[in-house]
Amino acid sequence: MTSDLPFNSLYRHGYARVSTCVPRMRVAAPSFNAEQTIALAREAADDGSVLAIFPEMGLSGYSCEDLFHQDALLDATEQALEHVVEQSETLPSVLVVGAPLRFESKLFNCAIVVHRGRVLGVVPKTYLPNYREFYEQRQFTPGTSALSRGGAVRLLGTDVPFGDDLLFSATDLPGFVLFTEICEDVWVPLAPSTFGAMAGATVLANLSASNITIGKAAYRRNLCASQSGKCIAAYLYSAAGRGESTTDLAWDGHALIYENSNLLAESERFSDREQRITADVDLDRLRQERMRFNTFGDCVANYREKLGLKGLLKWAIEWEADGVIGRFEDDEEAQIFTNAGIPVVAQDYKERLHTVPNITSSYFETGKLGADVDARLRVAVQTTQAQLDAAERARRAFTAAVDRALENTDVLVLPTLPALPITIEAARNGTPVLTMSSLIRPFNLSGHPALSLPIPIEGSPMKAGLQIVGRKGADEEVCAVAAHFEAALAAS
């Protein structure tokens, strides 16, 4: 769980690091392209990225034209893909690479989602442009024409999910759900990623080739910004760069990362080298914005038939992100939050505890602190590293125990206070109240949603508190149980 990560880990704070890659490539040279892809994938993994995407048909090259119907190229591309999959076994990041693949005696322009030596799914391109400089329908079949759509295909000796309706969710990275589309798919009035976002995807990836023409770069930016804003999602875009054939077209290697219409990262265009851009996406912000914008949910409801009855969620593929989410523990990583105005405790905060007395002594000397606060601060400055370590171990053990208790039950119900509240007079007379919150504070530290409901005490004007605790992320369920209790009490 992300709450168990070091404080300096960006993943503990609801962020996810993602990379968009533009490798150097050669047309119809899958082995070379695979090595370039693997090299950038390793860079992304070393940088702690949970996701790295690559250009459309990056393993074969986009500008192969009628070579796409040559078995020699297609066989070599599958071998290159197999090599990428094998090499990914030691990488914690999810990789999304592009390649032409044969199924059902048809050829599909595909995005292949790979993680730790396994193909999680294959996404075919839905909309094939056949206008101006494009004639993809000469070689390829749209994904909507596949008989296997919404089912599975045989790839590299394994049955894998296949379709333009796949969601990829991380089991241990809350809020990270990936949806993938390819180039032209986002240029149409109703992009597949729109439905992906409404079905729950928070990170939308577009593998593109996208040759460059005058004014097209600005149009791409507007397109990605608009799509990420309307979908309240992150949008990653990777276009082909150096190495594609310039016989008929030009390529600028344009890579973009947007979050809810805001540009987070952009590559250098027309670069003569490989590139990788990286950004830290605020998953919590996306979740909260979708909750606030009620019309987003209204739109989802209006399309419930397409989302629920036509197979968009037929495959929900889960993967483990544990290889990356605990990686960030140094002061350089903490600077990301500092620059964003988020308070961060330095990694060596335990060693710096000796500075606390110097900071607080000036407050003690003012005489403006209340007796209770003064006493607490004087105890706090004596905290040792061993005590901090012991407290952290206790917090983790308690969190795990609550998680286990909630595995087979919806909520936990227990008293809010260990005893009846003290009177105001008793508080003024110095009666300690710290222990009164002993049943509340543990759940503040474990991160489980909890609320208290006042319960009448027969024959007394005072009320007791009933605390309801739920699973992490199940805030609505906790509120629903509380509402049920409240209604039952009102009816009794």
The set of catalytic residues is 56, 125, 183
Radius of gyration of the chain (CA): 27
The token pair that represents 363 in the structure block: 């407050």
The answer to whether 199 touches 163, Cβ cutoff 8 Å, is no
Q: Report d(CA 492, CA 457) in Å as an integer.
A: 13
How do the residues of the chain divide into helix, strand and coil, expressed in percent and rounded to 5?
40, 20, 40
335 phi/psi in degrees, rounded to 5:
-65, -25
Q: What is the DSSP letter of 259?
A: E
- Indicate the SS3 state at residue 185: helix
Helices 71-87, 30-46: axis angle to 10 degrees equals 20
The string of DSSP codes covering 299-335 is HHHHTHHHHHHSSTTS-EEEE--HHHHT---SHHHHH
Q: What is the DSSP letter of 268?
A: P
| Number of other residues whose CB lies within 10 A of the CB of residue 296 | 17
Q: Report d(CA 208, CA 159) in Å as an integer.
A: 26
